[in-house]
Each structure stands twice: as C-alpha cells, then as structure tokens.
Structure 1
C-alpha cells in the first residue's frame, strides 16, 4: 500500500544528507521489519497430530489428563438403560411356551438391568450374581400353564406347584434355578415360589411368570398381569441337598445337578485327586465335566453366601437322585 500525504498544504521538503552508515542501518531495519511481516502471514498449516492433545501425551509438569478439543462422548453408551427401580410394562404378554427342558445349552450375557431396584447394578463380583440377597426388585407377574412343573432347570415334575419362570436376563444361565422368591402384589398378598424355569422374550427384566396356581394366590387369574415386588429368601427346611448325574453320564463325561438347595448354588467343584476343579454351568442347570475329571468323586458346593458343603463320592448313576445329607444354613 502506498502511503498518502496531506493535500491541503504542500510543503517543499527540506533535503537532508545522512551519513552513509546511518542509511545502511535504516536499510537493515526495513529489511528486518519486512521479514517479520512475511513470517506472520498464514502460509503454513500445523502438522496434524503434532499437538499434545491430539497424541494423548502431556507436556512435562502438566496434568496427566488430556482435554480433547473435539466433542466429548457421554459416559453412558447410547441405547443402554440405567436401573430406575421400576419396570415399564411390556405391551406384549409373554407366551406360555417357555424353554423346553431339552438340555441344549445357550448362554446369555447381558449387563443391562432395567426393572431392578436402584440399588442393583448390571455387573457384580458377588457370588449371588444378578439377584442379590436382601434386595427388593420391582417388575410384573404374569401366569402360564406349568403342566407338571418341569422346565428349563430340569428339576423334573414338581411336587409343589408354587413355582415360577424367571425372565431370561435374571435367569443368568441357570444361576436362578433353585432360588426361593417371595412375591408381593400391590394388594399386599404374597406367595413364595421356586424358580424351575426360564421365561424368554417377551418377558422383561424383573418379570416373573408364575404358574397359574401361584398367580391365583395373589391376584384374580383374570387379571393376567399385575405389578409386583419380589426378593430372594432363604427358607426354613428340613430337607437335605441331593445330587443327580445327568442321563448319559459316565467316567468319561458327566453332568452334575444339585437339587433341594436352601440357597442358590454359585459354584460346584469336584475332587480330582490333586485338588478341586470347578465345573462350568450349563443353561439347563447341570455342571459339566467334559473330560470326565471328578466324575464319581467327592463334590464341593458353594452357595451365594459363600458357604461350602463337601459331600462324599457318589457313584455315577445317571438320572438317579442321591441324597447328600447336608444343607446350607438359613440366612
């Protein structure tokens, strides 16, 4: 840009002669100013990833937590629900066709816990798993024709039809099998049921599908669906635990089931001579030894409270109920 000069008055400039050294100094200063002007022009882009924030590293003496310049993500994944302490009733009534007791193992792994009380969480390290002792859960109760009472837990025909099917999430790969649940309706009526079956979708988290006989204890069967609260209990009993080997068991492969437990079983181990080996649990409520290790040996059973019971060795007699003469303590 050319400099402008005042035009109202024109003065003839006086000519001054500067020493050569002073003129040279002025030229150097002018060149320096020009170089600064060129260097400040936006002709270069920063190298992507060169900033500390972009690489995740921090400069010495700064906090170890970096702050992103971009949008931050929420701590809760989109679509994941948070326990609220109540269950929204499902618009579709559950079918009465629960999992058939075929013995086919399917594992469900889900950490979302809608339908539970606010004191529960989706992930827990407790042996009790999802259903914690002393916690009341909210949900709905429906009813189904339970026939002889056999179900996904493979306990066989029920002597008492005060039984129920647990929703798939809380069934937790058969860990709910054998649990005694106290169910309370809004009118104050209660019934205690034994979990013998699994209720798949559309049964919602927190939902119990009661046998028709159990449902009639707390509500008019015509209601079909009611709001409830329920919790795990440790009932009084004079019965002892029994052991049953699955049909097809031998010294080379066996499935072991616990029957009549006061408290839900959290773990089952077998003696292998060199120690105890924990067996994995199938969704049909048997603990499996794929290699035959421990089949016909002593058994150690742990309940959700951490109590351990050790039984004598039982012969591998498939589909035979063998009393163990032990029982977990009441809580």
Structure 2
C-alpha cells in the first residue's frame, strides 16, 4: 500500500495546474522591478533627465537583462551626450599652454612664423654677409702708410699691370687673400685721399692696419721722403666699367685645377663649382687661387659670392690654363 501510494500521480487541480502559473508570475515581477530600478537611477542621475538619453539607457539595460550579457561600464556614458564629466577637450589646459611659452611650443614646426624666421635665418646672402672677413664695409681703420716699388703684381697673382695705384695689405688684414682685389680709400692727415686696389701682401714688420703703397700712390699723399705717415682707410665699392674674368692656373686640367676671379668690384667671399651633387665651395690659397685638388668641377659652371652676399653664376668655361676669359658679369655697386 505504501508502494502504490508512492507511485500515485499528482492531482492535476492541486499541483500541476498551479506551478505553471507561479513561474511566469515571478519572472514578470522580476523584470518589472529591474526596469523600475533602472528608470529611477537614470531619472535621478545628473544630466539623465533628457528623454532620448533615458530611453537609450533603459533600452540598453533591458537588452542586457534579456540576453544575459553584462553591459560595458562606459556604454551609459557614451550614450548620454549631456554628461558634464570633464574630457581631454576641456579648454582650460589648452588656454594655459597657449598663454605660457614653453620649450615644446617654441620648437613646434607647424608655426608659420617660425618657418619664415628659420627660412630667413637659412638665406645665402645672410650667411655670406655675416662673415666677410676682417675688412668690413662701412668701417674706417686707423693705420700707417709706407711705400715700395710696385708694378701691380704681387701675392694676389694678378700679374704686372699698367695701373700703378695699388697697395700691399698687411698679413693680418690680407687674411689668406681675402683682401685681394679690394678697392680701398686712403686718407692722410692733410685730408688728401686716394683710391688703391689691393694686389699684394705686406709681411712683417708691417703691422695690423698698415698699407704699403706703390710709390706713385704714396706720392699723392705725401713726399716720398716722409717715409711713413698716419692714415685712415676704408673699403670702397667703386664705379667701374670692368667686368669679372676667370683664369685657370697654369697646369690646370679636368683632374686638377686652380681658379681665379679677376676684376671684381667687391671682395670675394666664396667661389664654388657646379658638381653632380650641387655647388662645391673651393678652398682659397694665399696666392689667390681656389683649388680643386681632385678635379671636381673643373670646367663646370662657377658661382661667385661677394662680401655683400650677391652671387654671380658664370656658365661653364673650357679649362685653358693661364688664359683670361671674360664673363661680362659684375657685382652691384654699394
């Protein structure tokens, strides 16, 4: 009897019929409770009163509850555009960086003003004019004048000339031939002045500031018997009808050459030759030739730069040793 009672099926009106109804009722109650809780949270959260943001939050929460997948913590923040939480777009740090100069701000390559400045600091005329040598335009030098027998030739290697108004420059101001070809105005204490061209070097005992004039030039300032007089002198950029000439040194070839510029109005600061990689500056010697030891650029175009930064480009000339070749070019007068 116990066994038959144990195997007895449950009554449909007392057990089976009530259980199917209780389970859905609990589920509905739970979902409604969760929805109400989320609605209250969103409604009382700052900035959460907007209808669109609230609807999106409730929808996302309901979807997560239905699927059983937890919603990322940032979802509700990104879904609510009215959130006042600070972000990287806050204007306060930006304003602070703009108002206070810093090393990083100074180096910013995107600044147009800085690019123009850099560009202006890196121009050829500025770079060249910054280092014209010891003899500078607009400067008056004190010194003494002496005299010697001169035929216009000398350390500058120009050769003899019929122009006897020449001078030799002391070694310091000669500065490895940088003074070669310079026109100098020389004034004596009497007020008399002359213009001479530097064609030679005056070694020791010539002192800094000293000019050793040709006898013809000295005689225009004082009697030769004076021997030595006080003078002032300054650089000139004179009127001239001459144009610049180019001469290749004796022994020059496509494999080695020396190049000399003659007849330039202003002193030369640089001589360059055209190569496959651009312009190559040649080293200047004390005898006033610019050397290409390995023949680089020999016979190619030549670029001359004076102490004012002006540049003249001489088209390629044949390598003809000891031959003066005219260019028809001349630097501007200053």
What TM-score, normalized by structure 1, do the two folds share? 0.62
- The CA deviation at 1:125 is 8.0
Query: Residue 312 in 1 paired to residue 293 in 2?
Result: no
Write out per-residue CA displacement over residues 125-183 of structure 1, whole angstroms, 9 at most, x where no aligned residue: 8331100100000000000011x221000000122100000000000000000000000
Is the alpha carbon distance of 1:125 and 1:327 closer, same or farther for their aligned partners in structure 2, counting shifts above 3 Å?
closer
SS of the equivalent of 1:169 reads helix
Q: How far apart are the structure 2 equivalents of 1:207 and 1:238?
A: 29
**2:181 touches 2:198 (CA, 8 Å); kept in 1?**
yes
Write out per-residue CA displacement over residues 52-97 of structure 1, whole angstroms, 9 at most, x where no aligned residue: xxxxxxxxxxxxxxxxxxxxxxxxxxxxxxxxxxxxxxxxxxxxxx
**1:127 touches 1:306 (CA, 8 Å); kept in 2?**
no
Q: How far apart are the structure 1 equivalents of 2:143 and 2:161?
A: 25
* Structure with more helix by fraction: 2
In structure 1, runs of 5+ residues without a counterpart are 1-123
Give 1:139's match in structure 2, choosing from 143, 157, 163.
Answer: 143
RMSD across aligned positions (CA): 1.1
Give 1:299's match in structure 2, choosing from 296, 299, 302.
Answer: 302
SS of the equivalent of 2:283 reads coil
SS of the equivalent of 1:213 reads helix
Q: How far apart are the structure 2 equivalents of 1:315 and 1:160?
A: 28
Correspondence for 2:280: 277
Give 2:249's match in structure 1, choosing from 239, 243, 246.
Answer: 246
Give 2:190's match in structure 1, choosing from 162, 172, 187.
Answer: 187
Give 1:159's match in structure 2, choosing from 159, 162, 167.
Answer: 162
Q: How far apart are the structure 2 equivalents of 1:157 and 1:223?
A: 27
Moved beyond 2 Å, runs of 4+: 124-127
Larger Rg belongs to: 2
SS of the equivalent of 2:226 reads coil
Q: How far apart are the structure 2 equivalents of 1:238 and 1:182?
A: 19
In structure 2, runs of 5+ residues without a counterpart are 1-127
What TM-score, normalized by structure 2, do the two folds share? 0.61
SS of the equivalent of 1:170 reads helix
SS of the equivalent of 2:172 reads helix
Give 1:237's match in structure 2, choosing from 240, 262, 266.
Answer: 240
